């Protein structure tokens, strides 16, 4: 297929341009930039509402003119408060939807090889107060102007993560004022910014723009900065916690002043008050410390301790400080924080083992991606975080692309741990990564790196959800770079562990990483995960998965053209634009070979997608199950696994548990099944049936049953074990081992595992499709991204399964607050020895048959035997039905597709 002809930007706002088809997170088209009214109160912080932007190719006026009030920015594009250039142009309808087909190739990269202007007006009513410009998130660098005067050069404002404050009091006038940024083009090979590595096709503008708030701060003669609380939880009792309050006070006046710094810590049984007078010479800065030694109330008894969601509650405290001069407020600060203890020592095998409040925790996580154009949408982010919890994950890794403050606020609230860090394969590791991407560092890069670390440390240190910073990814920094990072972290009172890299390497100061980055990143069979070698379930694997994750047919039709869909199932050697720009991952060759070799060649698009969902369910389930089962092993236990990745920043065919539109397929429900709190599972390596308990409390009086069936439903083996007990906190117990050989068992067979409690209630159900012929791996030929499979398991017998009769009945209740719950009971109506219904999927759909998303299911993709039923619930926003009645689309491996309507009720 020929590449689309690039479309050069029409350098004016189109009068009748059709907006690009919105993707989740895209938001609505920004309005013409409003003038921001700046609050006059001392200590206030006002974010600029947005910008007018235009390429310097089309602006011939001087910087002084462009940055002056009253400049006629006619023909400029509106941009939101946090917006890359391309995000603004997409919102204005300048280009077709880049998430569909190859339309992103139509955007001419040449439009972004020169600087772009960002200008914004704001009004000030009180010029007696001091005024500061405060910001970070400039990609890649910018000259900054206020009211016609340059206040910083691109050499001063460089790096995506550096934070900048400029005192512009002398330039501010009553009425309208203007700030303008001349944003430089981004090249992540040469600058310490953001790139997309091999995750997706990179945006043509390389994310140049301003992606965090630019704020106007007001204050009196004394500025209050860097306010924070350092917490120390008494371990192991957790019976007390010491709080140390710190802040910098700075005299920005030309006279000596005495300020009173006072405030409270809230969230305690009674607010804890602190206060002190500080005398400051002109332009002097002092750090004020309130410690338990001089403020005994800062030693809390019985503190409310913050836990990950699966382990306890998530209480937060608050710090409020005010600096007053002559009785008048001069500046204020607020910070929320949590009390928790995080340790991550290396175990006897040299692997990193996280402990939260003294309790060991298997890190079960995935790699997080923002929107490709870095568009911030709180609702979309919150929906994905709720999905992470729904999947039983406890951690998200952010390799670069470190999200705004609100992301970590949400993670704190939901109890989701985070592992932020710098990214690989770009300038960040250019000094230490040999021949890989990224140029070696020059002298100016070192202060930018240190400033980036200092800014992120100060921003993230108070979030209890942040449990480490990874100062390297694929490579650890050398001593000079590491020293800059470590010094910045220490200066910021960083208390969480610092990890030198996500790979198995060491750094001079922080030592050994205790993590491995052995992959895989492309297809491997389910049994791979059980071997304690390569990427198998031992140690801490910082990024790993079986690669491709083909989304549902609904999503595929939203992201690919009919011709591309035809190629998808017919041609394994074809380059897939929606996979990766990397030559290594450009095709689905390995994945398609395994799909055909194990399940049989696809007969069409529908057949390809249904086999993909089956394959992804078993693969993802095995990955999480293997790491969970091995977590308490006496030798070489697993300590952490990060699925690569949780989501993609665009419409993708790889590395995602959930797709761009928040639809859920086999990968999603395979992970959800593997991570259920009390879980029965099968070991591909030793045929064991184990019970894994990640609840806090032990479980006893359990009964485990395993039954093997031919695909036609003929039972070949059945065994029940009663009186099982398993400790909590991730412990596992082996119930039984399936015989190596079972008489009469077909080459392809099904294993149904049931776990019931003492009252006979089913607490876990798990169904496997297996083969008497194992997948054979050639470990000696392993590459960095996969281990070859020389012989495939025979699962083709599944194709002979007869259609199963499944009925469904559903009802919906709406709670009056905008949330609906649909309850559906699916039943296999067959009798006797009849083919089971394998992986029966229920999709909530609207009037036109499109999925209602997001939705959180209690369970899904269930397998039922004759006479069995399952009751599932789906919770979602009522508004997402768009006024239509909820319907359920039932389908499955051998279940005919049918749609049923749910009766509706409203709770009063």
Catalytic residues: 474, 543
| 11, 54 contact by CB (below 8 A) | yes
- Give CA–CA dist 274/154, Å, rounded: 41
Angle at the Cα of 897 (from 893 to 900), degrees rounded to 5?
130
Tokens of 876: 């979602």
SS3 call for 593: helix
| 185, 114 contact by CB (below 8 A) | yes
Number of other residues whose CB lies within 10 A of the CB of residue 773: 14
- Give CA–CA dist 579/547, Å, rounded: 10
- Alpha-carbon distances, residue 487 vs 193, 321, 492, 579, 897 (angstroms): 21, 27, 9, 39, 61
Given strand 138-139, what is the order of strands in its sheet?
83-84, 209-210, 138-139
Angle at the Cα of 856 (from 855 to 862), degrees rounded to 5?
110
Residue corresponding to tokens 């969902």: 613
Output the DSSP codes for 482-517: HHHHHHHHHHTT--S-EES-SSS-EETTTEE---B-
SS3 call for 524: coil
Radius of gyration, CA atoms only, the chain: 29
At residue 87, φ and ψ (nearest 5 deg) are -60, -40
At residue 879, φ and ψ (nearest 5 deg) are -60, -25
- Cross-strand bridge partners of residue 134: 165, 215
- Which residue, among 654, 658, 661, has the nearest Cα to 671 in the 3D structure? 658
State how beta strands 903-906 and 806-814 pair. Answer: parallel
- Cross-strand bridge partners of residue 274: 263
SS3 call for 123: strand
Angle at the Cα of 469 (from 671 to 441), degrees rounded to 5?
120
């Amino acid at each position: 297929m020929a590449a689309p002809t690039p479309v050069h930007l029409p350098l004016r706002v189109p009068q009748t341009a059709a907006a690009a088809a919105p993707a989740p997170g895209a938001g609505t088209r920004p309005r013409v930039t409003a003038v921001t009214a700046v609050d006059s109160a001392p200590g206030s912080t006002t974010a600029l509402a947005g910008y007018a932007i235009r390429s310097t190719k089309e602006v011939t006026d001087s910087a002084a003119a462009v940055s002056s009030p009253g400049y006629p920015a006619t023909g400029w594009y509106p941009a939101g408060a946090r917006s890359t250039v391309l995000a603004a142009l997409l919102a204005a309808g300048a280009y077709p939807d880049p998430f569909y087909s190859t339309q992103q190739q139509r955007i001419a990269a040449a439009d972004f090889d020169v600087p772009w202007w960002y200008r914004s007006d704001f009004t000030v009513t009180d010029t007696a107060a001091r005024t500061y410009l405060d910001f970070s998130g400039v990609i890649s660098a910018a000259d900054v102007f206020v009211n016609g005067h340059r206040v910083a050069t691109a050499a001063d404002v460089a790096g995506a993560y550096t934070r900048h404050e400029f005192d512009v009091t002398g330039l501010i006038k009553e009425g309208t004022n203007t700030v303008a940024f001349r944003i430089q083009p981004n090249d992540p090979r040469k600058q310490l910014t953001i790139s997309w590595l091999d995750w997706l096709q990179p945006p043509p503008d390389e994310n140049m723009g301003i992606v965090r708030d630019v704020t106007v701060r007001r204050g009196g003669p004394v500025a209050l900065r860097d306010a924070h609380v350092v917490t120390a939880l008494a371990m192991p009792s957790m019976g007390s916690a010491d709080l140390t309050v710190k802040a910098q006070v700075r005299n920005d006046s030309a006279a000596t002043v005495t300020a009173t710094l006072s405030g409270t810590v809230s969230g305690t049984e009674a607010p804890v008050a602190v206060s002190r007078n500080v005398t400051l010479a002109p332009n002097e800065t002092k750090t004020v410390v309130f410690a338990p030694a001089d403020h005994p109330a800062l030693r809390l008894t019985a503190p409310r301790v913050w836990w990950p969601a699966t382990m306890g509650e998530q209480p937060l405290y608050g710090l409020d400080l005010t600096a007053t001069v002559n009785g008048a407020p001069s500046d204020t600060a607020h910070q929320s924080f949590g009390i928790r203890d995080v340790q991550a020592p290396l175990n006897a095998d040299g692997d990193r083992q996280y402990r939260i409040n003294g309790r060991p925790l298997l890190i079960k996580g995935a790699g997080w991606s923002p929107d490709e154009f870095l568009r911030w949408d709180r609702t979309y982010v919150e929906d994905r975080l709720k999905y992470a919890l729904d999947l039983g994950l406890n951690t998200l890794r952010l390799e670069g692309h470190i999200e705004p403050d609100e992301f970590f606020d949400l993670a704190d609230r939901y109890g989701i741990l985070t592992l932020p860090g710098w990214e690989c394969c770009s300038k960040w590791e250019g000094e230490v990564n040999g021949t890989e991407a990224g140029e070696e560092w020059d002298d100016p890069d070192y202060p930018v790196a240190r400033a980036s670390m200092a800014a992120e440390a100060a921003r993230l240190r108070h979030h209890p959800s942040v449990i480490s910073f990874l100062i390297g990814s694929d490579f650890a920094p050398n001593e000079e770079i590491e020293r800059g990072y470590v010094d910045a972290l220490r200066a910021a009172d960083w208390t969480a562990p610092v990890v030198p890299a996500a790979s198995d390497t060491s750094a001079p100061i922080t030592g050994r990483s205790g993590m491995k980055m052995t992959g895989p990143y492309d297809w491997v069979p389910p049994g791979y995960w059980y071997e304690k070698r390569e990427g198998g379930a031992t140690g801490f694997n910082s990024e790993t998965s079986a690669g491709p994750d083909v989304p549902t047919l609904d999503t595929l039709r939203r992201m690919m053209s009919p011709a591309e869909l035809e190629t998808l199932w017919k041609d394994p050697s074809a380059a897939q634009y929606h996979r990766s720009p990397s030559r290594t991952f450009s095709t689905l060759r390995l994945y398609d070979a395994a799909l055909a070799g194990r399940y049989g060649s696809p007969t069409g698009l529908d057949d390809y997608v249904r086999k993909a969902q089956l394959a992804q369910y078993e693969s993802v389930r095995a990955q999480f199950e293997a790491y969970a089962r091995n977590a308490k092993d006496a030798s070489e236990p697993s300590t952490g696994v990060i699925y690569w990745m949780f989501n993609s920043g665009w419409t993708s065919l790889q590395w995602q548990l959930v797709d761009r539109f928040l639809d859920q397929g086999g990968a999603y429900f395979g992970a959800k099944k593997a991570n259920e709190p009390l879980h029965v599972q099968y070991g591909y390596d030793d045929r064991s049936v184990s019970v894994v308990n990640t609840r806090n409390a032990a479980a006893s009086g359990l009964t485990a049953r395993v039954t093997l069936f031919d695909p036609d439903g003929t039972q070949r083996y059945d065994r029940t074990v009663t009186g099982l007990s398993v400790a909590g906190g991730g412990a596992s117990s082996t119930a039984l081992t399936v015989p190596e050989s079972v008489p009469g068992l077909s080459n392809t067979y099904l294993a149904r595992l049931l776990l019931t409690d003492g009252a006979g209630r089913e607490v876990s159900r798990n169904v496997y499709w297996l083969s008497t012929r194992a997948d054979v791996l050639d470990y000696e030929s392993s590459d960095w991204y996969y281990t070859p499979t020389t012989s495939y398991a025979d699962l083709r017998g599944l194709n002979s399964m007869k259609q199963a009769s499944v009925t469904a009945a559903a009802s919906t209740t709406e709670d009056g607050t905008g949330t609906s719950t649909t309850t559906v009971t699916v039943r296999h109506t067959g009798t006797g020895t009849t083919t089971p219904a394998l992986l029966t999927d229920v999709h909530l759909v609207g009037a036109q048959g499109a999925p209602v998303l997001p939705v959180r299911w209690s369970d899904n993709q269930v397998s039922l035997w004759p006479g069995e039923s399952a009751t599932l619930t789906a919770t979602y926003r009522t508004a997402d039905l768009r006024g239509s009645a909820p319907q359920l689309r039932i389908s499955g491996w051998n279940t005919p597709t049918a749609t049923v309507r749910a009766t509706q009720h409203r709770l009063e």
